[in-house]
Amino acid sequence: MAPDRATARRKPTLSEQSAIETHKRAAAEAAAPMVEDGMRVGLGTGSTVAYLLLALAARELRDVRYVATSPATEQDARELGLAVHGLNELGVLDLAIDGADQIDPEGWLIKGGGAAHTREKIVARCAQRFVVIASAEKVVSALSAPVPLEILRFGVQSTLEALIPAQLRKVPLSPDGNLIADYLGAVEDPRRLSAWLSGTPGVVEHGLFAPELVSYILIAGAGGVERREGGKSDG
Task: For ligand 5RP, give the closer residue by CB, 14 or 157.
Answer: 14
* CA-wise closest residue to 181 among 216, 218, 147, 211: 147
Residue 77 near ligand 5RP by CB under 6 A: no
CB-neighbour burial class of residue 167 (10 A; exposed 0-12, middle 13-18, buried 19+)? middle
Catalytic-residue membership of 212: no
With respect to ligand 5RP, which residue has the nearer C-beta, 100 or 219? 100
Phi/psi class of residue 177: alpha, beta or left (left: φ > 0; alpha: ψ in -120 to 50)? Answer: left
Instruction: Calculate helix-pair angle for 14-31, 47-57, nearest 10 degrees.
Output: 50
Does position 48 bind ligand 5RP by CB under 6 A? Answer: yes
Considering only residues 97 through 156, tell me which ones interact with ligand 5RP, judged by CB under 6 A: 98-101, 111-117, 120
Number of residues counted as binding ligand 5RP (CB under 6 A):
17
Beta strand ranges found along 59-210 (DSSP E): 65-68, 84-85, 93-98, 102-103, 109-110, 127-135, 147-151, 166-168, 179-183, 203-206, 208-209
Q: By CB under 6 A, is residue 45 in contact with ligand 5RP?
A: yes
Catalytic residue among 16, 36, 106, 120: 120
Among 42, 46, 190, 202, binds ligand 5RP (CB under 6 A): 46
To ligand 5RP, the closest distance from the beta carbon of 70 in angstroms equals 7
CA–CA separation, 19 and 168 (whole Å): 32
Q: Does 47 bind ligand 5RP (CB under 6 A)?
A: yes
Question: What is the spatial distance between Cα 117 and Cα 57, in angstroms, rounded to a whole number?
Answer: 24
Q: Which of 26, 27, 30, 44 binds ligand 5RP (CB under 6 A)?
A: 44
Does 211 participate in binding ligand 5RP (rule CB under 6 A)? no
Residues that are catalytic: 120
Chain residues binding ligand 5RP by CB under 6 A are 44-48, 98-101, 111-117, 120
